[in-house]
Amino acid sequence: MTDTVLRRNVAPVHAAIETFIDESIALRHDFHRHPELAWDEHRTGGRVAELLRGWGYAVTTGVGGTGLVGTLTRGDGTRSLGIRADMDALPIEEASGLEFASEAPGRMHACGHDGHTTILLTAARYLAEQGTFSGTLHLIFQPAEEIGQGAKRMIADGLFERFPCDAVYGLHNWPGLPAGKLGFVDGPAMASVDWIGIRVVGKGGHGAAPHETVDPVVAAAHLITALQTIVSRNVAPLDTAVVTVGSIHGGDAANVIPDHVDLKLTVRTFRPEVRDALQARIPELARQVLAGFGATAEIEQRPGFPSVINHPAETAFARDVATGLFGAEGLIADLAPRTASEDFAFMLQARPGSFLFVGTGDGAPLHSPRYRFNDAVIAPAAAFWARLAETYLS
């Protein structure tokens, strides 16, 4: 499906969106040129607030730091709906070759948050100008998703007490999935994430006299191998888990055995019980393996955030809305959960809702310096948000 066909496909549904889609695309390019890292989304948030106010939304800034909420109430309906988009960029030097590439050295929208923000703003404009609903709509623009802190801080700042939501929804673009098609996952949709640091402490010495040392390099090598057995031997075959040693550092010279070696791990699961089990098993295994070499372990466990677990009724509702809008051919059948992580998980712990995916077609993966967001998905994704809001608040 070409970009032009994809963009024009939504015209029978929300022709109004097509009348200003080029403005939305230009807005996305502007966001892309000016990426801002977590807690620094001042320009982005300011532009979002300006647009929302111009369309008649009541805007509250400074929610959980640099977050903001746009609220629009119509009719006498008592239901309320929240839709969330993230705004922050990544500390990546862009290599996309785009003519509107980042103008900020070492910063890039390599995860498509500029696209997510634009999609929600496009829906916001339509709903303000032509939307038909009765109730209250809260549009949540969240900071600091990339470091997993924004959602939690907005919630701690009274997000759902100040802006009550009967349900909350979010989406993420996904390269490699068919462009413009929507994907829904029942139950766990994205993995939890935790970080563990292990310092393997030995006794350093001369590389020519290893018998006089407790070699932490050899001990660390055996530990890394042993850690690979956790998923295969401590996790049930029908469950999913990832234990990755992403960093190992020890020593500086070939003829010196260092005193210690540092390992950094990322751990991902879908089920809370599996997450808890791995948080106990990894330190236990590390201590026992290292003891066999006369080494010890200094362990730092840094909790990340839980898995994104979609609620059944809200997911079924969103799937029905998408099917009615695009037909079954507009959906991705049997979409599997993603092992990446998302702090939208905290919002789904606080309120019922669902997190869905929109395909962006072939291209570099998320977090790549060569990543390119597909502008052709803005219109259909915005049409979905608009129809979701109109249907939920009918």
Nearest to 192 by CA among 79, 275, 96: 275
- Please state the rounded mean pLDDT for residues 283-312: 97
In this structure, how many other beta carbons lie within 10 angstroms of the beta carbon of residue 259? Answer: 17
Biggest CA pair distance of the chain: 82
Q: What's the rounded Cα separation, in Å, for the pair 353 and 129?
A: 26
Is the pLDDT at 179 greater than 80, yes or no? yes
Within 8 A by CB and 6+ apart from 320, the residues are: none
- Roughly how many angstroms between the first and final C-alpha of the chain, as a whole number? 32
Predicted local distance difference test score (pLDDT) of residue 10: 46
What is the tens place of the pLDDT at every residue in 46-64?
999 999 999 999 999 999 9
Is the pLDDT at 199 greater than 80, yes or no? yes
- Please state the rounded mean pLDDT for residues 193-206: 97
Is the pLDDT at 3 greater than 80, yes or no? no
- Please state the rounded mean pLDDT for residues 382-389: 96
Sign of the CA dihedral running 249, 303, 307, 42: negative
What is the tens place of the pLDDT at every residue in 115-134?
999 999 999 999 999 999 99
Whether 300 contacts 201, CB under 8 Å? no
- Please state the rounded mean pLDDT for residues 321-343: 94
Tokens of 262: 């540092």
Locate tokens 């026992």: which residue?
288
* SS3 letters across 242-294: EEEEEEEECCCCCCEECCEEEEEEEEEECCHHHHHHHHHHHHHHHHHHHHCCC
Q: What's the rounded Cα separation, in Å, for the pair 360 and 378?
A: 10
Q: What residues does 190 pair with on adjacent strands? A: 308, 338
Chain centre distance of CA 370: 18
- Is the pTM here over 0.75, yes or no? yes
Would you place residue 16 in the very low, low, confident or very high pLDDT band (cuts 50, 70, 90)? confident
DSSP one-letter string for 291-354:
HTTT-EEEEEEEEEE--EEE-HHHHHHHHHHHHHHH-GGGEETTPPPBSS--THHHHHHHS-EE
Better-predicted residue by pLDDT, 7 or 179: 179
Instruction: Kindly calculate the radius of gyration of the chain based on its CA atoms and give it in whole angstroms.
Output: 24
Predicted local distance difference test score (pLDDT) of residue 11: 42
Predicted local distance difference test score (pLDDT) of residue 14: 66
Chain centre distance of CA 256: 42
Mean pLDDT value across the chain: 95
Tokens of 351: 């309120």
Residues written for the chain: 394
